[in-house]
């Protein structure tokens, strides 16, 4: 058996990846990578090293006592990292901060290769990760902080591409006077950027049930990453994406969504425009265009990424209609306040 990649998601949003050798316990692999996961006994007695396995296959053996981990906990995905031997890539939620485990965020460098405006709505930014390093590891749906050159500040953006690629992409909302928008207006191929991450608890879990993706504006980006991963894996799960925007001009990268419809046999999507003056076939809000057959079936996983009003509206809709997805994952994003004009 080859090594397995383990994603450690900490409470402060930091994600670190480690390689676990064949037959190696996760706690030992973490220590080998200088990440001090919580532990006390390391013998399956105290339960201090409990984490939750969000995905993946593993063996816990029989060398721990029930006081450390009982049957109900084990059935619910709780693991002891001092006993856990993975047999596939896994994602673990660690119930403490990265700082407490003497680790932190990772930085990497990249070079601008493409800056493509889409009218006044958004900008596609593509970067090449420096050849000396592998493409960044992240979970589809996660984001990075990108340092804005010369500002001493950064902005957060979700990957729109699959993990592990040397060329990474982002879909960035155009904010007149915004810090990143101003820099991108003069950016050119060859410019250098520094990125920190991955970060975030919004990411694709196992596709064991039908998937409902709800994207608002540039909140489409993480779903493009998810769709690429699902397409490469040959997913046959039912997937429906609703992409809602304010104006017709805000609908970007629809051709890329259409391409996924050709690659994924059970993927469908709809686009919705809120502006009353629009002549778009579907108008209003995403909550007015939900797939009734999926909602009535109930056993589906919902993923939602968009501005706060959209996220709050969808949550209210689910509460008021009694719709209860099997799991519901969401992320709000707030456009950064434009810079004040210089005196």
pLDDT (tens digit per residue) in 78-108: 999 999 999 999 999 999 999 999 998 899 9
pTM above 0.75, yes or no: yes
The pLDDT value given to residue 68: 96
Bond from prior residue into 198 cis (ω within 30 degrees of 0): yes
What number of residues does the chain have? 343
Q: Which has the closest alpha carbon to 171: 182, 156, 158?
A: 158
User: Taking residues 43-57, what's their average pLDDT?
Assistant: 96
CA angle (336, 342, 343) in 5-degree steps: 145
Distance CA 262, CA 267 (A): 8
Per-residue pLDDT band for 2 (boundaries 50, 70, 90) equals confident
**H/E element, 307:** none
Domains of the chain: 4-101 (3.10.20.30), 107-199 (2.40.30.10), 211-332 (3.40.50.80)
pLDDT (tens digit per residue) in 266-319: 999 999 999 999 999 999 999 999 999 898 877 999 999 999 999 999 999 999
φ and ψ of 195, to 5 deg: -125, 150
Question: 90-94 and 4-10 as β-strands: parallel, antiparallel, unpaired?
Answer: parallel
The pLDDT value given to residue 135: 80
């Amino acid at each position: 058996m080859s090594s397995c990649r383990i994603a450690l998601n900490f409470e402060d949003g930091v994600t670190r990846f480690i390689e676990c050798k064949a037959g190696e316990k996760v706690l030992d692999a973490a220590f080998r990578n200088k990440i001090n996961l919580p532990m006390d006994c390391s013998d399956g007695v105290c339960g201090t090293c409990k984490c939750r396995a969000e995905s993946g296959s593993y063996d816990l053996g029989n060398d721990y006592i029930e006081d450390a981990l009982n049957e109900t906990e084990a059935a619910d995905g709780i693991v002891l990292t001092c006993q856990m031997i993975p047999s596939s890539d896994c994602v673990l939620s660690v119930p403490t901060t990265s700082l407490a485990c003497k680790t932190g965020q990772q930085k990497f460098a990249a070079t601008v290769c493409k800056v493509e405006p889409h009218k006044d709505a958004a900008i596609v930014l593509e970067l090449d990760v420096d050849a000396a390093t592998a493409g960044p590891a992240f979970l589809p749906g996660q984001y990075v902080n990108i340092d804005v050159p010369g500002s001493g500040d950064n902005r957060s953006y979700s990957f729109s591409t699959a993990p592990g690629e040397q060329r990474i992409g982002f879909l960035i909302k155009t904010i007149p006077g915004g810090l990143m928008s101003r820099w991108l207006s003069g950016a050119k191929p060859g410019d250098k950027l520094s990125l920190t991450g991955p970060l975030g608890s919004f990411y694709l879990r196992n596709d064991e049930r039908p998937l409902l993706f709800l994207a608002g504006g540039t909140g489409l980006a993480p779903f493009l990453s998810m769709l690429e991963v699902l397409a490469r894996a040959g997913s046959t799960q039912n997937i429906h994406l609703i992409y809602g925007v304010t104006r017709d001009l805000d609908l970007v990268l629809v051709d890329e969504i259409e391409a996924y419809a050709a690659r994924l046999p059970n993927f469908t999507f709809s686009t919705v425009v809120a502006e009353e003056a629009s002549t778009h076939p579907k108008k209003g809000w995403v909550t007015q265009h939900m797939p009734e057959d999926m909602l009535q079936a109930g056993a589906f996983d919902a993923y939602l990424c968009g501005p706060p009003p959209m996220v709050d509206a969808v949550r209210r809709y689910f509460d008021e209609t009694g719709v209860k997805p099997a799991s519901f994952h969401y992320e709000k994003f707030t456009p950064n306040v434009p810079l004040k004009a210089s005196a």
